[in-house]
Chain A
């Protein structure tokens, strides 16, 4: 869709005389904004730390004489191979089964995670105050020198993350979540806006093992492919302890209204957004002709309702100063008769949002936002669920069209949510 086909703005998003803006107003028609949001490349990847990195890892390889730089002390020098990854949920009767496939390596993920005090602000220009790594405490870290290489193309990020020590069957496990903003890219990533989220496990060798999702705006139509890509070729499962439910969420249709909910105790407003969650196949390839992505939607799994808390008065977030947000979310999984078979409660505790503009729709406000937080619990088939939620979202404001890529990362040592790998 090019700019000439875009209907012009109908009216202002801000309704005069009202305390809160009408987020459902249509600056452009809802479906138009929804289509624009889909101009996004979705990369679902799985990070697997290569053996041997621990021996070389350092917080500053140029100064190994300063033992502050010992990897594992005040930070983590992460390096992982990036693999294609698909995780498709299906409901059958009272059961959910996740077909999770890790494909061949397509690139590398590097990140210097510097532990920092809990109140450290987002600041790409500043090295945080040191904070010693303690695997038994939930700790915040800054993601510096964060880089993804896919084929010959590169993305560079700045972000924040947090560790989550959890007890899984008596075993101490350190989960890790992160959110980062694309600051610079090469090849097809040059000049793009994008957001990365990750959730996984810190391995005993201090490697990151888990899911990384990257969403990159593709107004130029050079990344998103309408046709299916080369099928994933599964390799031996690198992580049998965790299951990742990848979800695609959107409003059921344009009649679904977003409403304001009760404010948070600190005065931030809340938006209540009902959405439908579906399983999805997020595919990508990284080859000589550059990266390509394709999304195929699957089964409807049930409704999701999120309360999003944010500061309405804040100016649109930027790479230097994003607007933080938190959420409280309820994922309800229903069988084909509409009966609930399980729910997952979770919330984003570390969310960052950035203003989003659409070259093809001048004046249409939007937000690119992403974050993560712990899974607080579950019911039914998800009773006792532990893990991390990541959200990676693009939305319009007035109209409030949404395009969400969420992951429920479940600690699953017994593999109860897994089905056998797809052939």
Chain B
């Protein structure tokens, strides 16, 4: 998934290697910097997974779901998700809840569909209806780690998705948040996150997938992180799958290209990536210890997708107050060890939020970071009948075809998995 171009497209078509960042080929012919060099700049980032659990001492809001503007307190835990290389038995991941690492204060409001949310606007809270999908504003989310010396504040918006997990109705939620202020080791860093979990009477319970651009290595340490201290599984009926999508030396014919409508006008972009196993982590030991993420060399699948701006007349810029809205459809195919398709999922990103960021070393200093989410529409193969939400956080430098594209996606799927079909046992071991 990637937000479409802000540039005026040329319908001239794209050469076969337009999307390939690997090697020394220039990403943008006018600038001369290699795609590989830009990829390194984009990947100067820390990615980490948190798991939030409502604090037992916290009280829900009037509705009993903590979304009426009540200030709720949550506990934050380390959370590791490691995809096992897909095999003939399908796609699985190990999910490990680790030790408690901090706290989260949140204040959410259910809002009307047409409410224009901004950090400086007080939302008109409306009732939560558990049976329908509603928008909500994360008016405040304050993350504190360790004794509070490191942390950040944020603002964002999302949606509820009523779903069944097994025989249990749940209010699944997903949202994109943007960091508005950091302190301690997070000071002056651009970051965003995407959440996905359940809205419970006590608050939010689920994953927070975080990405911070970290050009000066202030958040990341080079040392090994303390080993995660596994805790009891917070939700055995749910499995999270994590992987990365990056541009690569695609086969000819699947490079980025424009999609033209019946009127001959560009309606969006067709984008492909290669899927790889993604490992990320962090720890808290006196202070927040981030870590550079790693991406496997082995390609475990492919993505083909279409993306476009959600509002055709919107300005092309994305700011913290007014992010650029995008949407799209993508199909993710996972290969087993023999190269056969083990399963596919089709996902519709219904809400994407893109923020422009300055990235020193990139021509024009211009880069993007973005978050997104949307429903898994269907699955095939090992994913047949799957239900869940697809979401992610990404960093990118993008030029319109036939110029190049660098992107590293952190992709996550939260899957209803009451039978544990997608959950790999801990003993499955590592993956490189």
Given contacts A130-B267, A135-B375, A206-B377, A74 and B163 within 8 Å (CB-CB): no
Q: CB within 8 A of A132: which of B253, B260, B329?
A: B329
Chain B window 312-333, contacts with chain A (Cβ cutoff 8 Å), 1 for yes, 0 for no = 0000000000000001111100
CB distance B270 to A68 under 8 Å? yes
Distance in Å: Cβ of A167 to nearest Cβ of chain B: 4
Provide the residues of chain A in CB contact with B330, threshold 8 Å. Answer: 67, 70
| 234-285 of chain B: CB within 8 A of chain A | 253, 257, 259-262, 267-268, 270-271
Q: CA separation between A136 and B169, bound complex, in Å?
A: 15
Q: CB within 8 A of A134: which of B131, B164, B268, B375?
A: B375
CB distance B385 to A204 under 8 Å? yes
Provide the residues of chain B in CB contact with A54, threshold 8 Å. Answer: 378, 380
CB distance A136 to B161 under 8 Å? yes
Q: Answer yes or no: B132 CB below 8 A from chain A CBs.
A: yes
Q: CB within 8 A of A165: which of B133, B257, B259, B331?
A: B133
In the complex, which range does the number of interface residues on chain A fall in?
20 to 34
Of chain A, the residue at the smallest CB distance from B262 is: A127
Provide the residues of chain B in CB contact with A67, threshold 8 Å. Answer: 259, 270-271, 304-306, 329-331
Chain A window 122-135, contacts with chain B (Cβ cutoff 8 Å), 1 for yes, 0 for no = 00000100101111
Closest 9 CB pairs of A and B: A73-B329, A170-B169, A167-B131, A136-B133, A72-B377, A68-B306, A67-B306, A68-B259, A67-B270
Distance in Å: Cβ of B301 to nearest Cβ of chain A: 15
Distance in Å: Cβ of B307 to nearest Cβ of chain A: 9
Provide the residues of chain A in CB contact with B329, threshold 8 Å. Answer: 67-68, 70, 72-74, 132-133
Q: Answer yes or no: B348 CB below 8 A from chain A CBs.
A: yes
Q: Answer yes or no: B397 CB below 8 A from chain A CBs.
A: no
| 284-323 of chain B: CB within 8 A of chain A | 304-306, 308
Q: CA separation between A165 and B270, bound complex, in Å?
A: 29
Which residues from chain B sit less than 8 Å from chain A, CB to CB?
Answer: 131-133, 159, 161-164, 168-169, 253, 257, 259-262, 267-268, 270-271, 304-306, 308, 327-331, 346, 348, 350, 374-375, 377-378, 380, 385
Q: CA separation between A137 and B160, bound complex, in Å?
A: 11
Q: CA separation between A167 and B162, bound complex, in Å?
A: 8
Provide the residues of chain A in CB contact with B257, threshold 8 Å. Answer: 65
Provide the residues of chain B in CB contact with A137, threshold 8 Å. Answer: 133
Of chain A, the residue at the smallest CB distance from B258 is: A66
Report whether over half of chain A's contact residues are helix, strand or loop; otherwise say mixed.
Answer: loop
Q: CA separation between A394 and B224, bound complex, in Å?
A: 77
Provide the residues of chain A in CB contact with B350, threshold 8 Å. Answer: 132, 134
Given contacts A67-B304, A70-B331, A165-B133, A136 and B375 within 8 Å (CB-CB): yes
- Number of CB contacts from chain A to chain B under 8 A: 93
Given contacts A165-B133, A171-B169, A136 and B259 within 8 Å (CB-CB): no
CB distance B378 to A72 under 8 Å? yes
CB distance B378 to A172 under 8 Å? no
Q: Answer yes or no: A10 CB below 8 A from chain B CBs.
A: no
Provide the residues of chain B in CB contact with A73, threshold 8 Å. Answer: 306, 328-329, 346, 348, 377
CB pairs A–B below 8 angstroms (19 shown): A55-B380, A65-B257, A65-B270, A66-B260, A70-B304, A70-B305, A72-B378, A73-B346, A73-B377, A74-B306, A132-B327, A132-B329, A134-B374, A136-B161, A136-B375, A167-B132, A170-B168, A172-B162, A206-B377
CB distance A205 to B378 under 8 Å? yes
Distance in Å: Cβ of B330 to nearest Cβ of chain A: 8
CB distance A165 to B306 under 8 Å? no
| 283-315 of chain A: CB within 8 A of chain B | none
CB distance A72 to B380 under 8 Å? no
Q: CB within 8 A of A204: which of B132, B133, B305, B378?
A: B378
Q: CA separation between A172 and B172, bound complex, in Å?
A: 12
CB distance B267 to A68 under 8 Å? yes
Provide the residues of chain B in CB contact with A127, threshold 8 Å. Answer: 261-262
- Most interface-central of A70, A171, A204 (chain B CB within 10 A): A70
Chain A window 101-136, contacts with chain B (Cβ cutoff 8 Å), 1 for yes, 0 for no = 000000000000000000000000001001011111
Q: CB within 8 A of A171: which of B132, B164, B268, B385?
A: B164
- Most interface-central of B304, B308, B377 (chain A CB within 10 A): B377
| 200-219 of chain A: CB within 8 A of chain B | 204-206
Knowing that A132-B328, A167-B169 touch, tell me 13 more A-B residue pairs with CB under 8 angstroms.
Answer: A55-B380, A67-B259, A68-B306, A72-B346, A73-B306, A73-B329, A130-B261, A130-B267, A136-B133, A167-B162, A172-B161, A172-B162, A205-B378
Q: CA separation between A206 and B271, bound complex, in Å?
A: 24
Q: CA separation between A156 and B399, bound complex, in Å?
A: 44
Q: CA separation between A150 and B270, bound complex, in Å?
A: 38
Distance in Å: Cβ of B267 to nearest Cβ of chain A: 6
CB distance B348 to A134 under 8 Å? yes
Q: CA separation between A8 and B26, bound complex, in Å?
A: 83
Provide the residues of chain B in CB contact with A165, threshold 8 Å. Answer: 132-133
Q: CA separation between A136 and B389, bound complex, in Å?
A: 12
Q: CA separation between A134 and B376, bound complex, in Å?
A: 10
Q: CA separation between A73 and B306, bound complex, in Å?
A: 9
Distance in Å: Cβ of A56 to nearest Cβ of chain B: 12
Provide the residues of chain B in CB contact with A74, threshold 8 Å. Answer: 306, 329
Q: CA separation between A30 and B374, bound complex, in Å?
A: 55
| 117-173 of chain A: CB within 8 A of chain B | 127, 130, 132-137, 165, 167, 170-172
Q: CA separation between A137 and B207, bound complex, in Å?
A: 24
Of chain B, the residue at the smallest CB distance from A75 is: B329
Q: CA separation between A205 and B164, bound complex, in Å?
A: 17
Distance in Å: Cβ of B253 to nearest Cβ of chain A: 7
Provide the residues of chain A in CB contact with B348, threshold 8 Å. Answer: 72-73, 132-134
Provide the residues of chain A in CB contact with B331, threshold 8 Å. Answer: 67, 70
Of chain B, the residue at the smallest CB distance from A132 is: B327
Q: CA separation between A189 and B340, bound complex, in Å?
A: 47
